[in-house]
Amino acid sequence: MGHTAETHAPQPKPLPGGERPYAHALAHDQRRARKPFTERRFTRSRSDRLLGGVCGGIAAFIGTSSTNVRLLYALSVLLSVGTTAVGYLLLWLLIPAEPALTS
């Protein structure tokens, strides 16, 4: 009972320049309220589509070729015995279509 050891987690040691590690990190509540870095939205493609535009939209969002996404999706359909096809249908219903271009 006379033991006076602290039960706190050890504090990080200062960096060589005197800066504390993680000093740039935001508090938990501030991270949650932070806005995204981009105004990019996840939408189904109107121009790069074979069926519903889901794979084209995913490819545009992550910045890769839609062919790669389609090949990966076809492989996943084969390996999962078609259960990812249900996922495609759900995404088709839930993801909004890309806004139409007005001229």
Residue range 3-37, pLDDT digits in tens? 555 566 666 666 676 666 665 565 555 555 556 66
Contact 84, 76 (CB under 8 A): yes
Residue 27 lies in a domain: no
Residue 48 lies in a domain: yes
> What is the reported pLDDT for 49?
85
Residue 19 lies in a domain: no
Phi/psi at 56 (5° precision): -65, -40
Q: How far apart are CA 97 and CA 45, in angstroms?
A: 7
Domains of the chain: total: 1
The structure's pTM equals: 0.58
Does pLDDT of 65 surpass 70?
yes
Residue 65 lies in a domain: yes
Q: How far apart are CA 47 and CA 44, in angstroms?
A: 9
Tokens 């040691």 belong to 13
